Structures are given as C-alpha cells and as structure tokens.
C-alpha cells in the first residue's frame, strides 16, 4: 500500500493516514487480522515523524478498526470493516446530500439529478 | 519532563560579527525540532555550539543536565551530527569511516550499520570524495545513527539531493530518529521537510530565536482549510528558497 502523505493537502498528515487506512479497511484491501506497518515503518512509508504516525494509530484504535497486540503489531479488528464502512457511508451520504441541495438551489431539475444518479448506477454495475 | 538539551542566554560572535544573540531553547525528549532559518541566520554556528565545538561568549549549553563543554566522553558520544557536507577524510571509504568511528563510540551498533547500509545501498568501497552527494549523505546518516545517540543534530542533510534519494534518506531518518527518550534537531530551510518531520518548529532570524511553535498548534485538520506548508510559509519565507524555485 502507498502510505505517502502530502503536506500540501488541507488534511493533516495524521488525518491522511487515518483516512487511507479507513478506506483500505472499508473496501477490503485490508481485512480482519491483517497487520498495519509498525509505527516506525509507517513513519518511513508515510514520510511523517513518528509521533504523527502514532497519533494516527491512536485514532484508528479509538475508532475500533485496529487493535495492538503485545509486541506483535497493529491488526485490523473483526468489526473493523463494518465500522470503517459505516463511517465512509455516513460521510459520503452527507457529501451527496449537500451536493444535491446545492444542485437544486442552482436550478437543476430534480429529473436531471435523478438521471445523473441512474447513469452513475449503471456505470457501477 | 526535563530537556535533553537546554540552551540559555547563548551569544556568539566571530570578531565584531555577532552571529547568535541571547538564544534560549529546550530540546524536549521524544520530539523532532526543526530549526528554520535562512543562510547566514546562524544555524550552523548554533549546532556547533550544541556539539561543544565552539565556546560561546555568553550563556550555556547543557546536555542531560551537564555543561556540554565540560561533559566527558560517555556523555558526549550520545550526541551525533549529520553535517551538510561529508566531513570525513577524503581518502576514507564508508567501511574505513565506520571502522574508525566504531572505536570512538561505546554504543556503536554494527548491526545497525549493516541493516542501514543494505537498505540505503551505501557504496562501502568507494572513497567519500568520489561519492555522489546522495551517497555521501547516506553514509553520514548511517554514521550518525549507528552510535545510538540521545541527541541527533542534522544540518541540511536533505538539501540538493535528487528526489528519490531525498525520499529514501528522509524515510530512513524518520524511521530511525532516536526518539526513545532522545531528541532531534534538524536545521533546514526546506518547508516540505519541516512539515513532514517537525513536532516543533523553531525560527532563527538574525541570530535570535524569534518563534517557537508546536506543529500540532499550526495544524488545523482542514477545519480552517489551512495547509501545514502554507502555515509554515506564513511564518517563514527564506530568500534562498525563493531563488531556488
């Protein structure tokens, strides 16, 4: 996995690591029992200092998607996928809701938004 | 938590030229401190005072509670340094240099040397004078990490490296930084390096520390839409960086 962060983005490097991990867990690139790199390794791969990497791990642990095991590393939990996916769904629904509100205010017909949605659905199928 | 290094009231002049004036700073354990400053701001002089190589006209530099100029070898060898230009004898190869250094440091780790040299592909049999800038930088970093220091000082180690080498050396530095109770001071004017590496940023201007701030305070997590590099740029826009672009 590519963990390299970009300090020119709005999200802090630690947030970028959290989001990338949640994404990988939500879509099954990382599954229950998979390990994440050690904090030091993550620092080197994400090109951040290791307090930043540790902060990201603490947050992932707080969310319940990863769990440290004594001396062995940090592992994706059994409920990790469900939690990560729920978070992703909540976030994306919020973004979608805002986009729809914005589009309606801008004068788009509900039908054309519906058509766009159907087009997206077909592409996904 | 007591500091790894504490600098207080430090002033330094060469002849009539004042270089550092009343510098006060503490290097806290487990943290990477980035010292930002233009060329000529006094960064290298400050590092040389911290190493105990220069005797300041006023003020003191304490390392783990002991005056660094009076500290004896067992303590002194816990401070290591990565210079901006390789400072070993020209004729030496990396193998010669590591052999020479291994006799000076009680905590020297041959395993660390082996691991890091393999990982970064340090050319062991090439004389340092024939090395590329990147190869020399890798050699110097390995030499500074192998003694397992409690304080690692680095002077522009990533400057003028090609992008893949810079990323490799930066990655090794970030992974190996001695933060188990130790501290790091990295002098640079590269804001991207600063944004990646720093827990705390210190700004040296005209021989004085004008700003000290924790990166966590600068960081907004996107709620104000402010990027970290932009916040650093607000603090500091060195002339030579503008010229380099």
**Domain enclosing residue A22, as ranges:** 13-81
Residue-wise pLDDT tens digits, A61-116: 999 999 998 878 899 999 999 999 999 999 889 999 999 999 999 999 999 999 99
Q: How far apart are CA B214 and CA B211, in angstroms?
A: 10
Listed residue (A17, A8, A47) closest to B163, CA to CA: A47
pLDDT band of B227, cuts 50, 70, 90: low
**Domain enclosing residue B97, as ranges:** 5-13+39-182+191-213
CATH number at residue A21: 1.10.10.10
Mean pLDDT lowest among A20-34, B94-108, B179-193: B179-193
Given A61, A81, A101, the domain boundary residue is: A81
Environment class of B230 (CB within 10 Å of its CB; exposed 0-12, middle 13-18, buried 19+)? middle
Q: Which residue has the tokens 């960081």?
A: B219
Tell me: do A98 and A59 sit in the same domain: no
**Residue B242 confidence (pLDDT):** 47
Residue-wise pLDDT tens digits, B38-76: 888 899 999 999 999 999 999 999 999 999 999 888 899
Tell me: do A102 and A59 sit in the same domain: no
Cα–Cα–Cα angle for B29, B35, B37, rounded to 5 degrees: 170
pLDDT band of B237, cuts 50, 70, 90: confident
Tell me: do A24 and A71 sit in the same domain: yes
Q: How far apart are CA B82 and CA B87, in angstroms?
A: 9
**Residue B213 confidence (pLDDT):** 87
What predicted TM-score, i.e. pTM, was given to this entire model?
A: 0.87
Minimal Cβ distance to A41: which of B32, B175, B196? B175
Please check whether residue A70 lies inside any domain of the structure. yes
Q: Is A51 on the interface with B (CB under 8 A)?
A: yes
Domain count, chain B: 1
CATH number at residue B47: 3.40.50.300
Nearest residue of chain A to residue B196 (CA atoms): A48
Please check whether residue A4 lies inside any domain of the structure. no
Minimal Cβ distance to A10: which of B31, B196, B222? B222
Please check whether residue A29 lies inside any domain of the structure. yes
Given a contact cutoff of 8 angstroms between Cβ atoms, the answer to whether A36 and A1 are in contact is no
């Amino acid at each position: 996995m590519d963990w390299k962060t970009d300090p020119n983005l709005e999200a802090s490097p630690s947030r970028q690591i959290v989001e990338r991990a949640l994404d990988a867990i939500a879509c099954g690139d990382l599954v229950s029992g998979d390990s994440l790199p050690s904090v030091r390794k993550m620092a080197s791969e994400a090109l951040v200092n290791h307090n930043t990497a540790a902060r990201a791990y603490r947050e992932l642990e707080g969310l319940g998607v990863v769990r440290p095991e004594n001396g062995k590393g940090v592992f994706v939990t059994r409920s990790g996928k469900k939690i990560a996916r729920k978070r992703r769904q909540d976030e994306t629904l919020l973004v979608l809701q805002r986009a729809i509100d914005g589009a309606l205010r801008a004068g788009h017909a509900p039908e054309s938004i519906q058509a766009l949605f159907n087009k997206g659905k077909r592409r996904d199928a | 938590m007591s500091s790894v290094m504490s600098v207080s009231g430090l002033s330094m002049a060469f002849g009539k030229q004042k270089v550092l004036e009343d510098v006060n700073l503490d290097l806290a354990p487990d943290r990477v401190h980035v010292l930002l400053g233009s060329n000529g701001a006094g960064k290298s002089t400050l590092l040389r005072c911290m190493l105990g190589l220069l005797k300041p006209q006023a003020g003191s530099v304490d390392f783990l509670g002991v005056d660094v100029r009076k500290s004896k070898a067992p303590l002194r060898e816990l401070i290591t340094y990565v210079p901006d230009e390789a400072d070993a004898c020209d004729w030496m190869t990396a193998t010669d240099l590591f052999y020479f250094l291994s006799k000076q440091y009680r905590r020297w780790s041959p395993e660390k040397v082996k691991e890091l040299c393999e990982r970064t592909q340090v050319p062991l049999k090439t004389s340092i004078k024939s090395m590329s800038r990147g190869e020399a930088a890798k050699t110097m970093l390995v030499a500074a990490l192998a003694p397992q220091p409690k304080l690692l000082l680095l002077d522009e180690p990533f400057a003028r490296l090609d992008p893949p080498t810079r990323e490799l050396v930066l990655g090794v530095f970030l992974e190996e930084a001695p933060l188990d109770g130790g501290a790091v001071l990295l002098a640079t004017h590269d804001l991207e390096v600063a944004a990646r590496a720093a827990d705390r940023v210190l700004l040296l201007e005209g021989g004085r520390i004008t700003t000290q701030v924790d990166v966590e305070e600068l960081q907004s997590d996107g709620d104000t839409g402010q990027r970290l590099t932009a916040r650093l740029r607000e603090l500091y826009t060195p002339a030579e960086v503008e010229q380099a672009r």
